[in-house]
Structure 1
Amino acid sequence: MVNIYTEKDANLSRLDGKTVGIIGYGSQGHAHALNLYDSGVNVMVGLYEGSPSRENARNAGLTVDSVAEVTKASDVIMVAVPDHVQKDVYRDEIQPNLGPGAALMFAHGFTIHYGFVAPPPSVDVLMIAPKAPGHRMREHFVQEGIGVPCLLAVHQDATGNAKEIGLAYAAGIGCAKAGVLETTFKDETESDLFGEQSVLCGGVTSLINMAFETLVERGYPPEIAYFECLHELKMIVDLIQQGGFNYMRYSVSDTAEYGDLTRGNRVIDENVRSNMHRVLDDIQSGAFAKEWMSECDEGRHNFLRLRQEARTSRIHEVGRGLREIMPWLNPREIE
């Protein structure tokens, strides 16, 4: 069982008199910075010269400076730039300006767990990983006064206060309202990558696309295939999130439930389990991390080719046309 902490366990005043530097102002960075600012914490944002996010951060009332200057001025530094650039940003901007006793924080354990970043023993190293995209985290905080759950991990406790600082930070961004689950960098990183690859992104998109193509190959109209294999998925996921598999099965027809119970394991069979184990093996061994970092170092040519192929696939083109006649979905197209 993991330890779960809430607001009663987190003392936001542990950040009184401290400066928190948020490195990056993207999906996670902007939500962390703004939620902390609204909670009364002294926040600075570190961005490279010429970053288009500088104006956005300043317009929100935040102090903005270079990554190096923000690191120098901060007692707590949250690294919220993408995984593949953290190594260089840390080496060039953060490490030379990191004072002893500082708390170095990450929103994902990737670069620490796989050794791409190796902080000195004189600083606390910890992770606060909200379990939602930054824009959703910000919306909940502003519109509903609530937070999203997050994970807390302490990799290095140089001061003896790392956990308390982490909990205070979680309170400042609103996550302590929803629950802070204690974990390790290893478990967060490996389980997060596995979830993304096997279900949340890789698994679900491949399953949807293969089902769509199967119907189309067998002569069914692409528009009908899109509705049956993609459009209705949200309804099912919402039911599962609300009450688990049992509530979803209770909510659908008996015919659908019988088909679920007798045919689902024909599609997702033991071969899929074996493939999942191989995916997890690559994550645990570091093979995936090395492959991804090499891909980025070498220009990301394969990644960009695969991205373009996915963005121009048949299911995407069919979906684009159907979403145009459903404005209530607030459709958003990426070119």
Structure 2
Amino acid sequence: MVDHLEIEQEEKELFEHLRIVADKGQALLRIDKFLMNRVENTSRNRIQNAIDAGSVKVNEKEVKASYKVKPFDRITIVLPDPPRDTEVYPENIPLDIIYEDDDLLIVNKQAGMVVHPGFNNYSGTLVNALTFHIQQLPILPGNTGRPGLVHRIDKDTSGLLVIAKNEWAMTYLAKQFFDHSISRKYLALVWGDLSDAGTISGYIGRNAKDRRIMDIYDDPEKGKWSVTHYTVLERFGYVTLIECQLETGRTHQIRAHMKSIGHPLFNDESYGGHKILKGTQFAKYKQFVENCFALLPRQALHATSLGFKHPKTKEFLHFEVPVPEDFRLGLEKWKAYTTEQTS
């Protein structure tokens, strides 16, 4: 966890002071690479300069860039420039609003849009757009910078999100997410051929070497319990279209789960799906897959349906949206390829 230290006001205007404690499961990793994964709004040169200047200390001692971070290491770093402004500024960004009333709205998020401001994404986010659309979104304790949000989907995942427009709606919806009574289904195109249906579970937590991705563990000390149920919808030989129903909603849950069973999402760069994992060695096939990657230039994951009880009326609402154009074109190309191979 990163904490800003207490410092004098005039110094605060010039420097950013950070303290990080390495997790107990931290694998040995160079300090410069470790900090690149953990410090927001920075660059390798900025980290390197701080190390060279003696502004990075581990357990209160200056270190070189080659130092390997170990579990429980206490790292402090002083960087020029103050912390980012945490206020969310309204931006007039078009939204695909599926439903709206006095308590909530349902948005069909496009792929490529970050949900809330954060690591190197402080504008152009869904929250910036929502703050323009709704002047006063609710903020609950622990939700600073994420007004109205009770869940999220990844930047390059498309699909449905519910937004709370007042504190009661936010509390009521959050309770449903906590109780796992929200119905959420995703469509995913994955590498390989799967059984007709299955369930994937395990403790999901940060990868020890790269904090940007998640791993599945057997040890409850290393993560949070996660469960995904999947059903095969259509097979295309080397890839399969599946429907995933979330029992829990953890960061990168479907992406990490599918990788853990050897079937990463098609074109998911973070989890290895951006390479040709199944199929022939023929140049024609390789070109075909590259063309599919170009049509669907992100992980093939879409939040297609969402169901929950309305916070005021208690009526069960259900929403469903089709896959967007890039996903549709990718599926059509695989269908055509499969038909050609079997004809």
Give 1 or 2: higher strand fraction: 2
* Interval containing the TM-score (normalised by the shorter chain): under 0.3
- TM-score with structure 1 length normalisation? 0.25
